[in-house]
């Protein structure tokens, strides 16, 4: 049905968003931490928050 297609499309977009989000965080952190190694813990924190949020989202 149309509703199922819409939901599937939505979840696909969300998944892509999460994957891209993690890549953006990783790339940004890699570049920043080369200049300033003290930012590494912050990046790890950001990634763990990101993973927690996405796993909660997938469980819903």
Whether the predicted pLDDT of 46 surpasses 80: yes
Residue with more model confidence, 16 or 48? 48
In 1-60, which residue ranges form alpha helices assigned H by DSSP? 2-35, 40-59
Query: Region 42-52: what's the mean pLDDT?
Result: 85
Query: Does the model's pTM come out above 0.95?
Result: no
For the chain, give the percent of residues with pLDDT over 70. Answer: 97
Query: Region 11-38: what's the mean pLDDT?
Result: 81
Find all residues with CB under 8 Å of 26, minimum gap 6, and list them. Answer: 43, 47
């Amino acid at each position: 049905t149309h509703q199922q297609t819409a939901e599937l499309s939505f979840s696909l977009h969300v998944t892509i968003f999460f994957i891209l989000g993690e890549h953006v965080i990783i790339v940004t952190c890699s570049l920043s931490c080369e200049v300033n190694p003290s930012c590494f813990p912050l990046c790890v924190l950001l990634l763990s928050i990101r993973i927690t949020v996405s796993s909660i989202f997938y469980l819903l």
